[in-house]
Copies of this chain bind each other. A is one copy, B any other.
Amino acid sequence: MLNDRVTPTLEDVSKRAGVSTATVSRCLNAPDRVADATRERVMKAVADLGYTPNFAARVMAAKRTNTIGAIVPTMENAIFARGIQAFQEELYRAGYTLLVASAGYRLEMEETQIRTMVARGADALLLIGHERSDAIYDYLATQRVPAVIAWSYDPDRPQVSVGFDNRQAMREIAEAVLRLGHRRLGVISGLKAGNDRVRLRLEGIAEAASGFGLDAATIRVVEKDYGIESGASAFDELVATLPAPTAIICVNDVLAAGALRRAQARGYDVPAEMSITGFDDLDYATIVTPALTTVHVPHREMGERAARELVAMVESAVPGRSIRLETAVTMRGSLAAPRD
């Protein structure tokens, strides 16, 4: 018994107030069902004793935790931070607590985390992207734990999603690149395994290329995990094989920032000799020089809407509706027409 707390219990309070534990419980959970005088007495006892309800006991008895879990691929870089922050603020407003776990972009790890969260009594879950096993979706269904998928939007899937169309968003920025005249493209991608957002974005690039009469299969794609350094080394790989691309499209701003810095370190003039684009519109995009042309994603709005949707699903047991958010190509200095 490592944790033998010295916390007063409901019973201590009830004795001190001279009532039953049921009355104390009601004072705490449904104050209007208790006579004013009694309530005052009880509340005084609560205050005197510094009583805090035992969470586990409450969960066991009430089968509700007022807790919502979020499982993100990573907390290390800023990709999910802003959205999750907004998510948590909105949950807090609605009286819920957020539990965050990160799965390191690994599906089995995510599955473990989902099961852990459910076992911990999460009333609902926020998940990133659609890709995961049917087994785990079935599990959530049988457990009756509502879930919302964020950072992705797909009305054709049975799951409720609050996000944007990754493919279309990426196609739009790729088209912007192509429209300027670029024909030799390089792509820096995150790891595709277990990450449908990345795959959809790559498809978006391929679609744009086809639309401009390019054979998408000839576009060189370098796949790396996320990180500044990965973007930098991916850049080196892309320019190693000739003819080098005139524009490099990155699936997010972190990779783009790394590629940009490496390009400059290698003496490339960005954007005159080399254009680079990002995705997400994180802080990274605006602090680099030149600032990144990127896809703006409404992270905060996504977090807030997902929270509201999830709370509604928990509280009214309605099915929940998918919500599509708009992204926007944001033109900044890192993209220009090719020189030649």
Interface residues of A (CB under 8 A from B): 1-7, 50, 52-57, 59-60, 63-65, 74-78, 81-82, 84-85, 88, 97-102, 115-116, 118-121, 123, 139, 142-145, 228, 254, 257-258, 260-261, 264, 283-284, 286-289, 314-315, 317
Contact: B102 with A99, CB < 8 Å? no
- The 10 sampled A-B contact pairs (Cβ below 8 Å) are A2-B64, A2-B317, A3-B64, A5-B63, A6-B143, A52-B118, A56-B57, A76-B82, A78-B78, A289-B289
Interface centre among A6, A85, A315 (most CB of B within 10 A): A85
Nearest chain B residue, comparing its CB with the CB of A84: B75
Residues of B within 8 A of A5 (CB): 63, 143-144
Contact: A101 with B101, CB < 8 Å? no
Residues of B within 8 A of A102 (CB): 85, 88
Contact: A60 with B63, CB < 8 Å? no
Residues of B within 8 A of A139 (CB): 50
**Nearest-Cβ distance from residue A135 to partner chain B, whole angstroms:** 9
Residues of B within 8 A of A53 (CB): 119
Residues of B within 8 A of A119 (CB): 52-55
Residues of B within 8 A of A99 (CB): 99-100
**Nearest-Cβ distance from residue A141 to partner chain B, whole angstroms:** 10
Residues of B within 8 A of A77 (CB): 78, 81, 283
**Nearest-Cβ distance from residue A199 to partner chain B, whole angstroms:** 25
Residues of B within 8 A of A78 (CB): 77-78, 81
With A52-B119, A60-B60, A78-B77 as contacts: A287 and B288 at CB distance below 8 Å: yes
Residue of B2, B82, B123, B258 touching A2 (CB-CB under 8 A): B123
Contact: A7 with B81, CB < 8 Å? no
Residues of B within 8 A of A145 (CB): 3
List 4 extra interface pairs beyond A75-B84, A100-B100, CB under 8 A. Answer: A55-B121, A284-B284, A287-B287, A287-B288
Q: In the assembly, what is the distance between CA of A116 and CA of B55, in Å?
A: 8
With A257-B287, A261-B287, A288-B288 as contacts: A3 and B123 at CB distance below 8 Å: yes
Residue of B54, B88, B288 touching A289 (CB-CB under 8 A): B288
Residue of B6, B118, B286 touching A142 (CB-CB under 8 A): B6
With A60-B57, A63-B1, A283-B228 as contacts: A81 and B85 at CB distance below 8 Å: no
With A78-B77, A84-B75, A97-B101 as contacts: A60 and B50 at CB distance below 8 Å: no
Q: In the assembly, what is the distance between CA of A50 and CA of B119, in Å?
A: 12
Residues of B within 8 A of A258 (CB): 287
Q: In the assembly, what is the distance between CA of A98 and CA of B284, in Å?
A: 28
Residues of B within 8 A of A264 (CB): 289
Q: In the assembly, what is the distance between CA of A190 and CA of B131, in Å?
A: 40
